[in-house]
Structure 1
């Protein structure tokens, strides 16, 4: 059997990905599908850390957050990511996959506090580590959290799982069917063209630490395994 292309990865899941086709809340079938796909790569010996968003429950910059100061709204979003992390943990452990949730905001009754060395030790023991609570600071996205944690745990790649697109396009392919899909992009091209893959803080952090990003669709079963094995799907960002 061919060996995995990556040994340690960070999987970035948006809140929308966990909502599935319903667009809000947590879709149990989507949790089951993602947990199955993560379990597949764990059996290959790959170390998997996950960063979850919270947009399926609360988004700090949304219309519903108007009237709430930005810092408070962002903290509410951090709490939403913890709910998603616990749901994913439950899905993984239902399959017998060991996991730990670590939060950047302490809540010891439900999760461990984020400690870099402990996270790495969990990964070495083939436990999935789910990072929740964002960076613990307002005004930073969970994309930035993914870049930061990837740098901290020395992950080889960030896998950005999407539920609406299967890569990076020159424009929104839903609104513009003629949009071109990119196979490869540099960090500079992402920043200069404002392609919206991740915010500029996250992109710059990845560029400075030379962490490649692969954008792909989470909706097709087995795609996480394909990416980990080095198959050419989605869009690769780096260099």
Structure 2
């Protein structure tokens, strides 16, 4: 995304770092919203910035979770060339999460982009292998492959619906489940 905003002269690593920094800003805003809703939350970043949020490390993140805090993970993997989706799946596997919630602009996974193809059909459920074989673009192949290896379900839903995150976390609402 950073490369599209800044122009064609921006190299991939710089664009990826810009994207990672944007996730820190988003997590800080989400942290405030979660706390305003009455839940304790912590933002942890793969890119160390201790005056802004905690650096990500597995054991402190697990401790926050055991104490009932919502842990918001920013900065992807902290490395360029890895998508934030791959970072999300990696952290979910590390933290023994039950699933990855993938918020998008559409209400699930489709055979094609429903905004471009009126004949696109929505999947209710599919396997990681199917997502990879069909070359579905809702997440990158590395994220799907890592989720498959970790036997980690991915729940894809539209962020545009009110209450969508809570519904998806409960397995409710209009979602696509990608699972083993």
TM-score, normalised via structure 1 length: 0.71
Matched, 1:102 2:44: yes
- Measured after TM superposition, the shift of residue 95 of structure 1 is 2.8
Contact map agreement 1:65 1:73 (CA 8 A) in 2: no
Structure 2 SS opposite 1:106: coil
- Measured after TM superposition, the shift of residue 192 of structure 1 is 1.4
Aligned equivalents of 1:90, 1:232: Cα separation in 2:
25
Q: Which has the higher contact order (CA 8 A, sep 6+)?
A: 1
Superposed CA deviations along residues 153-202 of structure 1, whole A, max 9, x for unmatched, are: 0001111122x211111111122222111111111111111111210111
- Measured after TM superposition, the shift of residue 83 of structure 1 is 1.1
Match of 1:172 among 104, 109, 113: 113
Change (3 A) 1:96 1:174: same
Which stretch has the larger CA shift, 61-70 or 78-87? 61-70
Structure 1 SS opposite 2:90: helix
Aligned equivalents of 2:29, 2:141: Cα separation in 1:
29
Aligned length: 180
Q: Counterpart of 2:15?
A: 73
Contact map agreement 1:159 1:215 (CA 8 A) in 2: yes
Change (3 A) 1:89 1:230: closer
Aligned equivalents of 2:71, 2:12: Cα separation in 1:
28
- Measured after TM superposition, the shift of residue 218 of structure 1 is 2.3
After superposition, where does 1:181-192 map in structure 2 within 5 Å? 181-192=122-133
Q: Counterpart of 1:86?
A: 28
- Measured after TM superposition, the shift of residue 97 of structure 1 is 2.0
Q: Which structure 2 residue ranges, 5 or more long, are not aligned?
A: none
Q: Counterpart of 1:40?
A: none
Which runs of structure 1 show a deviation greater than 6 angstroms over 4 or more consecutive aligned residues? none
Structure 1 SS opposite 2:129: helix
- Measured after TM superposition, the shift of residue 102 of structure 1 is 0.6
TM-score, normalised via structure 2 length: 0.92
Q: Counterpart of 2:170?
A: 229
- Measured after TM superposition, the shift of residue 92 of structure 1 is 2.0
Q: Counterpart of 1:153?
A: 95
Which stretch has the larger CA shift, 110-119 or 227-236? 227-236
RMSD over equivalenced CA pairs, Å: 1.6
Contact map agreement 2:45 2:55 (CA 8 A) in 1: yes
